[in-house]
Structure 1
Amino acid sequence: MKKIGVLGVLAVVALTQAGCATQVLSVPLNAAGGQSAGSVQVYFGQQDHPAVKTQLGDVSYSVRIARQVNTPDGACHAALAEAVSKLRAAARERHANAVIDVQTRFHSTETNSSTDFTCGVSTSAAAVAVKGQLVVLDAN
């Protein structure tokens, strides 16, 4: 009888943990990350931008949000939008007008792309880390 009880407990633990794995995704950028929203421009990867007038240093943030949307891509875009908002706030605080060379990461998987970003998503949350350079760009 003890063996059946132990096996039952192990089965319950295995079933509850089966859906908890985090997937590392490469997700296409869209307006959620948005490079042109607000007064601070954000340029992912090696996107073309005006000449750099002044470099003000690097900045990085990690964002983890509760998953409130049904699709993994949607959750990743919500996490990226929050991360980009933090980049813009840091730029405004340091009087920068852009964040360039933005890279995304989840644990050891990094992306330096102008077309997609890396995100980790599970059944309960989405997470992304961003880093970039705060700069003042020449106004053309």
Structure 2
Amino acid sequence: MSLSLFKTLSTAVLITLGVLVAQAAQARDTFYMLPFRDVLALPEAQSRLDPSIRLYFGNQLHPEIITRRGGYYIDRKTNSVFKSDEGACRWVALSALINLQERARAVGANAVVNIASYYNQRENVDNENYECHAGNVVAGVALKGDMVTISN
């Protein structure tokens, strides 16, 4: 077999494997509504979330808004191989919350209010739960919220 033919066949096999893996990743899309409290209870949440930037989920009451600093949307995915769906969902939800806080800090806000799931740009407002979708190899969470400065 010539080197050129070997390279062509190798490329074809790799492309076929890539297509099969991509199809397998899309083959499952399990919908979950999971509690934010489980995410906030993670040891990583205790060490990585900034207590100076408060988070208010859904329609939760919050102190008076002094300044609005705009809305923000984050769509996060994580590898879920060798993880339970719920474990992967908690991890990716934490990543999204951290990103919301980073955005708040960047725009000078001290809180994120009206945090809602926004998977596939479909809003799902819940004071206690977030939406997560788990596939064969990927789990995803999308959140949106309003960056604000609130009174203490």
Task: Settle same-fold status: TM greater than 0.5.
Answer: yes
Identity percentage over the alignment?
24
Q: Contact (CA 8 Å) 1:27, 1:116: kept in 2 or not?
A: yes
Residues 58-69 of structure 1 mapped to structure 2, 5 A cutoff: 58-68=71-81
The change in CA–CA distance for 1:109 and 1:23 in structure 2 (over 3 A counts) is: farther
Please report the TM-score for the alignment, with normalisation by the length of structure 1.
Answer: 0.78
Please report the TM-score for the alignment, with normalisation by the length of structure 2.
Answer: 0.73
- The 2-side partners of 1:55 and 1:122 are apart by 36
Structure 1 gaps of 5+ residues are 1-12
Residues 92-107 of structure 1 mapped to structure 2, 5 A cutoff: 92-107=105-120
Q: Secondary structure at the match of 1:70?
A: coil
More helix by share: 2
Is residue 136 of structure 1 aligned with residue 149 of structure 2? yes
Equivalent residue letter for 1:83: A
Q: Contact (CA 8 Å) 2:53, 2:111: kept in 1 or not?
A: yes
Residues 27-106 of structure 1 mapped to structure 2, 5 A cutoff: 27-33=34-40, 37-38=49-50, 39-68=52-81, 70-106=83-119
Bigger drift between 20-29 and 92-101 goes to 20-29
What root-mean-square deviation, in Å, do the aligned CA atoms of Structure 1 and Structure 2 show? 2.5
Number of aligned residue pairs: 125
Equivalent residue letter for 2:96: A
Structure 2 gaps of 5+ residues are 1-19
Kindly provide the CA deviation profile for residues 90-118 of structure 1, in whole angstroms up to 9, marking residues without a partner as x: 00011100000011132265321111111
Kindly provide the CA deviation profile for residues 47-81 of structure 1, in whole angstroms up to 9, marking residues without a partner as x: 11111111111011110111155321111111110
Aligned residue number for residue 32 of structure 2: 25
- The 2-side partners of 1:102 and 1:19 are apart by 27
Q: Secondary structure at the match of 2:140?
A: strand
Equivalent residue letter for 1:70: K
